[in-house]
Chains A and B, each alone.
Chain A
Amino acid sequence: MPTLRSICLLFLTIGVASAAPTDGGIAFFETEIRPLLSEHCLDCHSTAKKTRGGLNLDSREGWAAGGDSGPAIVPGQPDASPLIRAVRYHDLTLQMPEEGKLPEPKIAALENWVRMGAPDPRTAVTAGKKQTGLGLSEGRKFWSYAPIRPATPRAVQDPAWPRTDLDRLLLASAEKAGFRPARDAPPEILVRRLYLNLIGLPPSPAQIDRFVKASRLDPKAAVASLVDELLASRHFGEHWARLWLDMARFAESSGGGRTLLFKDAWRYRDYVIESVNNDVTWDQFIREQIAGDLLPAASPDEKRRHIVATAFLALGPTNYEEQDKQQLRFDVIDEQLETIGRALLGQTLGCARCHDHKFDPIPQRDYYALAGILASTRTLFNYTDNVARWVDTPLPLDGPREAELKAHEAKVDELRKRLQKAKTDLAKFAQPVAAKDLPGIVIDDTEAKAVGEWRRSNSLPGFIGGGYLHDDNQGKGAKTITFTPVFPKMGRYEVRLAYNHHPSRANRVRVTILHADGEETVFVDQTLVPAVDGRFVSLGTYRFEKDGAGFILVSNAETEAIVTVDALQLLPEESLETPLKNNDAAMLVRRLESELKQLQSTGPVRQVAMSVLEAETPSETQIRIRGVEKNRGATVPRGFLQVASKAPVQISPAESGRRELADWIVSPENPLTARVLVNRVWAWLFGSGIVRTVDNFGTTGEKPSDPELLDHLAVRFIEEGWSLKHFVRQIVLSRAWQTSAEGTAPAESFVRAQRRRLDAEQLRDAMLLTGGRLELSYLGPNIKRADEIDANNTSAQNVEYGYVYSDARRSVYTPAFRNNRLELFAVFDFADINASIGKRHASTVAPQALFLLNHPFVQDQARAATEISQDLPTSERLDSAFLRALGRTPSPKERSACERFLGTQPTAEDWAQVHQMLFACIDFRYVD
């Protein structure tokens, strides 16, 4: 039965619906519309089931209020009603029901119903309570959003134990919980722990010896002096950079759909290593990465660093191939926010892209306030390319070198312009032409014999016939095209090959001509415009017999780029007197091209860096309703997370707001950043965080095991100027950090060390170091000729796909390709570099065992290790091998096992096997 209220509404509706039948259309609704809605619509649009697009069709209020895009029905006006538009299925972007178009009579019934004013007796059912997150004021009381407070001093029962205020806090908690701290770790254990934690490499026997001896004299002084030495070592940056690079999801290719090579990403990696080594304070380090391009720089060198730092925003696994570029733009922004949120704030910001955060005090408008800042920033070069590109920023040089470079660039520019004009002139000849319209004997590619898979294309102009063939830059050496002309008479013919030129083509294509006097091989550079008509290049003049066995064979062997074949032309020598008219234009292009090549290869090169830019006009952005890019809601002023800010912010209308964003991230009023960072460093050194969910400081994360301790560290970190080295020193000099892993106190008490496994990088570096093969070159690219790669050329992917990992540099320099990982990394839990990772997976799997047992890399390092102390007698040689690999001499059991294995006359190969098993054994893979 209709309620009183719905009847009132009904009368109102009748007022506007002139064509309404006398019963108000209720009968029509009941017989035609109610069953239809129930069958086709309510599964997805009702309070009882789902509310897709925010729309409920189970009551008048539901469709009147409508969904994300406004009211679904305009009573009396079918053409103006989105619901009718959807069921008509004419609009590609709005088609309902999703399963398929309704039969016409049902569509007509709905139209009729709307036309009569959409009579609907149903009233709204009370909707279930929607899950919403904490409000802002409640949120500010939650531990992570509340202001950081200094810890109150704690009393301890054993005042002799603590060495630092940190020890005092930890001991007090431990005593309260009834635990005794573990005993101090012996120097033999501590030395390996210090080396591996601070520089990522195990100590050499000499380094162990030195430390152990110094410890006997003065243990505290020995540790302090070793810590200082290690913090000052450039290896400290190489090891600790890795930790930030995980946060920054550092990679050297995009992965994503079509993976592109980030050829300049190494500059960012180097920037991070240097920043750590120079102890750039972390507030500055963060500012540079978010807004480096906007910061004042005192020198070109500083400017370079600032530009390179912004690669942080550009290194995501971007799907450059996405065809809807506005969608792509917002996907990039989302990825940037997610990364900033996770890495720096410990927040799951992505949850607020589509709606208010369901758990945390982050309204959707905060997300779009932040998004506005990044929407006012350019991360994509443009929004029109088929495959989008990132922004490369030229890097400035110091005074005189910059002037020299500028002069050179002007020359190149000038030459480019002339070349462009010459090409335009030549383009007149670039229309497709039929083979029959050309003089002489012309054989199109369709009549040639193809071996291997050749692809047909017509995407670049200037071809003969219907297109040209290309080898797809694959199957090198396995593909050929053979032309077998029939010669009408004996004589000398000029042989000309037509190919499709482009900078992406191979520059040394082998062509073999079998003629009456023998065989000739010539090479064709397909990056150049062909000299004749812009179509053909001459392969020389040769004698052929009438109906003889001559042929011309094009091969893709030994090429590194795309090989194309379009046609072959043979001109009797006697017909060659009249030169073709447009030769000049083609020759000019060729000449200018080679001049340009020459100039570019000899002059100084402008280095570029992956980076971001300011958008031309910074502006606010709109809320995207349900995260759908095209579904725009209210405009939101740019800003930050309200729950972690005190006052509303002022963002310069002339800038994107990244500078202000960076300032806010590191400002003392933002309680998140310092807490998140100190917890990360703590976790890296202790094996687990005070907040164990290191990336999630929201309400769904774990709470700190000791909130006061966390705040104490954060306060110290800020007070002492955000210095990483200072902070690390403070922790490793604590007595708690130097405890033994043996004992009864639980790991979470942090008064007993945790035994931990080496990560993938430490494992690889340690094997290389033990074998004496680790190459210690500092900084610089690792992908050969990275500067020369045109990253936007599709063949650049082959650099990744075909990459042979053969260098022996430290693992931090190993190319970080997203689609082709170094196998050791993939196997030892360092595979996924697509998202910011605060804590890697830790698995113990059979493939790891297989790798250490059977991979040639491991065997090679083991063989190399045998070369080091081979003159020693077996027993001493064993000592040396154990010391180098495990930092200790063998136990009696280990010694007898090895001696049994080696026998009396061990061969070099026996020793290699011993070394390999030392790499495989448990103690090598762990640090105490």
Chain B
Amino acid sequence: MFSPCTRRDSLRTVACGFGALALSGLAAQAQARQSPLASKTPHHPARAKRIIFLFMSGGVSHVDSFDYKPRLIREDGKMRQFGDLRSLAKTGKSPEMRVMKPLWDFQQHGQSGLWASGLFPEMAKHADDLCVIRSMHTEGIAHGPATLFLHTGTTTFIRPSMGAWINYGLGSENENLPGFISLGPALGNGGPRNYGNAFLPAVYQGTPIGRAGIPAKDSTIRNLRPLRSEPQARRQFQLLRELNDAQIQAKPGETEFEAVAESYELAWRMQSAAPELLDLRGESPATLSLYGIGETPTDNFGRQCLLARRLCEAGVRFIQVNYADNSNNPAWDQHSNLPKHGDHAKAVDKPVAGLLEDLKQRGLLEDTIVWWGGEFGRTPYAEKNGTGRDHNPAGFSIWLAGGGFKRGTTFGETDDYGHHATVDKVHMHDLHATLLHALGLDHERLTYRHAGRNFRLTDVYGKVVTDLFA
């Protein structure tokens, strides 16, 4: 099929994708002004400019980390009727389940006295920076649906991901870079749909760097490296310029051709500018060690977190760092062998704390939201009465830091077991609405017309939780 594209379209879309790295001169600026990725004015004054989302794929157990429930310790091993959501969805019934106490001891931390377990000792040191929401609830009992819901606001339909919406709503702070980057995304559990643009123009889709299962140090933007030596590549590019010039002159007035030629110029400049951004070698040893880079359990996630900071400095709006793998039972999914949570915690704890520290030192935490969490939590009871916990979308914890959110705060509660959110409940739609709000976007006004109607990230739901703002 031929995809028709008007001249106007092509002018509008020329600076898309990785954009006009190193654009200079008036003509270039005029071009950039028309770029769909050019920075846009938000709906209302923004508290934050960007988000780093640290995605804990598989579902971290909140009752073992940030939601302290003494009752689980008192009643450890007792059989209770919980209303297990999976059984209810499948059979409409629910058997009794065995209460399972947290495997890590809880303590209060910092001046705020925030409860956190020994699972994340490094994050706990930042207790006074965190805004922990303990009353999250969401949709989707299995990973696929819940992960899609987290990213796109629906378990089923083909919808743009949150990063794409933000990219569409705000553009990039730096038109030389994509506005939305996902570091090491997984192929499974929704795969590319989690950073996809669906019906939004393709320029707003997330740009993946690497892929789950590929070490962070080997991950880069695709096709960035010339296949040939620098002088050869340069000579070849010069030939292409001459061919394109001749062809443009042969068909004067075809602005779409100029757009194609311009896309080559951008690509050429990117080849030299982007690798530097992705190269961590210029960082000081102190910074590297802050993130645990060079140490066995933390090296990989540490690199991703540090790269997130660099992208954040460069002006990317939405950076997702994935702690994920391609399997159907991703990373944190401890249906059995809950102690395994400890291994994952070791891999992420120090890098995440390092990121918070680094952002703080550089003054970036003020206008950067760090969002840490998974697609759901885990049950307070043992799955199949074994050694692990099942999924729990009815109540779980996430935390936010920076970006104008309250510090050293906990918000909302689950019931005495940590099963269902009960007080100040925050639905995933509400979190989406709140995060957009913090970025200056009104979730009810951030719409896109498709198939005859307006769509939005929060569908017809979502409430901004203003109590979370400082």
Give A contacts to B, CB under 8 Å.
43, 89, 92, 98-101, 197, 242-243, 246, 255-259, 317, 319, 321-325, 331, 334-335, 342, 348, 350-351, 358-360, 384, 386, 453, 455-458, 466-467, 472-474, 683-684, 687-688, 695-696, 698-701, 742, 747, 754-759, 794, 797, 800-801, 818-821, 823, 829, 831-832, 834-835, 839-851, 853-856, 859, 891, 893-894, 897-898, 901, 913-914, 916-918, 920-923, 925-927
CB of B142 within 8 A of CB of A843, answer no
| Chain A residues positioned under 8 Å from B337 (CB to CB) | 455-456
CB of B202 within 8 A of CB of A831, answer yes
Which residue of the partner chain B has the closest CB to A680? B1
CB of A850 within 8 A of CB of B224, answer yes
| Chain B residues positioned under 8 Å from A856 (CB to CB) | 227
B433 to chain A, nearest CB (A): 13
CB of B246 within 8 A of CB of A321, answer no
Cβ of B264 within 8 Å of any chain A Cβ, yes or no, is yes
CB of A922 within 8 A of CB of B257, answer yes
CB of B250 within 8 A of CB of A101, answer no
Interface of B is mostly: mixed
**Digit string of B1-30 for contact with A (CB within 8 Å is 1, else 0)?**
111111001100110111100000000000
B206-242 residues at the A interface, CB under 8 angstroms: 213, 222-228, 232-233, 235-240, 242
B200 to chain A, nearest CB (A): 9
CB of A100 within 8 A of CB of B1, answer no
Cβ of B42 within 8 Å of any chain A Cβ, yes or no, is no
A559 to chain B, nearest CB (A): 16
Query: In the complex where A820-B191, A844-B13 touch, is A351 in contact with B18 (Cβ < 8 A)?
Result: no
CB of A842 within 8 A of CB of B239, answer no
Which residue of the partner chain A has the closest CB to B2? A756
Most buried by B among A821, A835, A917, A925: A917
CB of A757 within 8 A of CB of B423, answer no
For A323, give its contact among B90, B191, B261 (CB under 8 Å): B90
Query: In the complex where A321-B143, A701-B452, A843-B17 touch, is A467 in contact with B422 (Cβ < 8 A)?
Result: no
Q: A474 CA to B201 CA in the complex, in Å?
A: 35
CB of A89 within 8 A of CB of B191, answer no
Q: How many residues of B contact A (CB 8 A)?
A: 109
CB of A756 within 8 A of CB of B244, answer no
Q: A323 CA to B90 CA in the complex, in Å?
A: 6
Cβ of B196 within 8 Å of any chain A Cβ, yes or no, is yes
Given contacts A696-B452, A854-B224, A920-B264, 6 further A-B contacts (CB under 8 A): A258-B143, A319-B148, A456-B336, A846-B18, A850-B223, A856-B227
Q: Which of B68-76, B95-103, B325-333, B396-404 forms part of the interface with chain A?
A: B325-333
Which residue of the partner chain A has the closest CB to B449? A700
Q: A514 CA to B143 CA in the complex, in Å?
A: 42
B376 to chain A, nearest CB (A): 12
Which residue of the partner chain A has the closest CB to B137? A98
For B226, give its contact among A317, A832, A854, A926 (CB under 8 Å): A854
| Chain A residues positioned under 8 Å from B161 (CB to CB) | none
Most buried by A among B4, B144, B247, B271: B4
For B147, give its contact among A257, A845, A918 (CB under 8 Å): A257
**Digit string of B251-268 for contact with A (CB within 8 Å is 1, else 0)?**
100101101110110111
Query: In the complex where A256-B144, A835-B158 touch, is A457 in contact with B336 (Cβ < 8 A)?
Result: yes
| Chain B residues positioned under 8 Å from A847 (CB to CB) | 17-18, 222-223, 267
CB of B239 within 8 A of CB of A913, answer yes
| Chain B residues positioned under 8 Å from A917 (CB to CB) | 236, 239-240, 243
| Chain B residues positioned under 8 Å from A854 (CB to CB) | 223-227, 271
| Chain A residues positioned under 8 Å from B260 (CB to CB) | 844, 849, 922, 925
| Chain A residues positioned under 8 Å from B264 (CB to CB) | 849, 853, 920
| Chain B residues positioned under 8 Å from A696 (CB to CB) | 451-452
CB of A759 within 8 A of CB of B1, answer yes
CB of B9 within 8 A of CB of A257, answer no
CB of A359 within 8 A of CB of B453, answer yes
Q: A794 CA to B238 CA in the complex, in Å?
A: 50
Q: A821 CA to B413 CA in the complex, in Å?
A: 42
| Chain B residues positioned under 8 Å from A257 (CB to CB) | 140, 142-145, 147-148, 155, 189-190
Q: A851 CA to B223 CA in the complex, in Å?
A: 6
CB of A323 within 8 A of CB of B142, answer yes
CB of B263 within 8 A of CB of A687, answer no
| Chain B residues positioned under 8 Å from A759 (CB to CB) | 1-3
| Chain B residues positioned under 8 Å from A466 (CB to CB) | 387
Q: Which of B43-51, B81-89, B281-289 forms part of the interface with chain A?
A: B81-89
Return 5 A-B CB contacts under 8 Å, by A number. A322-B145, A324-B141, A474-B327, A845-B202, A922-B244
Query: In the complex where A321-B144, A323-B142 touch, is A255 in contact with B451 (Cβ < 8 A)?
Result: no
| Chain A residues positioned under 8 Å from B9 (CB to CB) | 842
CB of A101 within 8 A of CB of B423, answer yes
Query: In the complex where A92-B83, A100-B421, A913-B232 touch, is A844 in contact with B14 (Cβ < 8 A)?
Result: yes
| Chain A residues positioned under 8 Å from B202 (CB to CB) | 829, 831, 841, 843, 845
CB of A846 within 8 A of CB of B263, answer yes
CB of B248 within 8 A of CB of A922, answer yes
Query: In the complex where A351-B452, A927-B2 touch, is A846 in contact with B266 (Cβ < 8 A)?
Result: yes
CB of A845 within 8 A of CB of B453, answer no
Cβ of B192 within 8 Å of any chain A Cβ, yes or no, is yes
| Chain A residues positioned under 8 Å from B213 (CB to CB) | 474
| Chain B residues positioned under 8 Å from A101 (CB to CB) | 422-423
Q: A756 CA to B10 CA in the complex, in Å?
A: 12
Cβ of B198 within 8 Å of any chain A Cβ, yes or no, is yes
Q: A358 CA to B460 CA in the complex, in Å?
A: 15
Query: In the complex where A920-B264, A922-B261 touch, is A840 in contact with B3 (Cβ < 8 A)?
Result: yes
A325 to chain B, nearest CB (A): 7
Cβ of B270 within 8 Å of any chain A Cβ, yes or no, is yes
Query: In the complex where A100-B412, A319-B145, A688-B4 touch, is A891 in contact with B452 (Cβ < 8 A)?
Result: no
| Chain B residues positioned under 8 Å from A818 (CB to CB) | 191-192
CB of A920 within 8 A of CB of B240, answer yes
CB of B256 within 8 A of CB of A687, answer no
Q: A651 CA to B5 CA in the complex, in Å?
A: 44
| Chain A residues positioned under 8 Å from B155 (CB to CB) | 257, 319, 322
Q: A871 CA to B65 CA in the complex, in Å?
A: 72
| Chain B residues positioned under 8 Å from A334 (CB to CB) | 156
Q: A98 CA to B141 CA in the complex, in Å?
A: 19
Q: A351 CA to B17 CA in the complex, in Å?
A: 32
Cβ of B193 within 8 Å of any chain A Cβ, yes or no, is yes
CB of A820 within 8 A of CB of B187, answer yes
CB of B144 within 8 A of CB of A258, answer yes
CB of B427 within 8 A of CB of A321, answer no
CB of A323 within 8 A of CB of B89, answer yes
Top 6 A-B residue pairs of the complex, sorted by shortest distance between their CB atoms: A257-B144, A700-B452, A845-B17, A819-B191, A849-B267, A842-B5
Which residue of the partner chain A has the closest CB to B245? A893
CB of B236 within 8 A of CB of A913, answer yes
Which residue of the partner chain B has the closest CB to A326? B89
| Chain B residues positioned under 8 Å from A921 (CB to CB) | 240, 243-244, 247
| Chain A residues positioned under 8 Å from B239 (CB to CB) | 897-898, 901, 913-914, 917
CB of B144 within 8 A of CB of A319, answer yes
Q: A840 CA to B340 CA in the complex, in Å?
A: 45
A330 to chain B, nearest CB (A): 10
Q: A189 CA to B91 CA in the complex, in Å?
A: 65
B328 to chain A, nearest CB (A): 5
For A845, give its contact among B16, B271, B386 (CB under 8 Å): B16
Q: A708 CA to B325 CA in the complex, in Å?
A: 56
CB of A698 within 8 A of CB of B263, answer no
Cβ of B203 within 8 Å of any chain A Cβ, yes or no, is yes
CB of A258 within 8 A of CB of B263, answer no
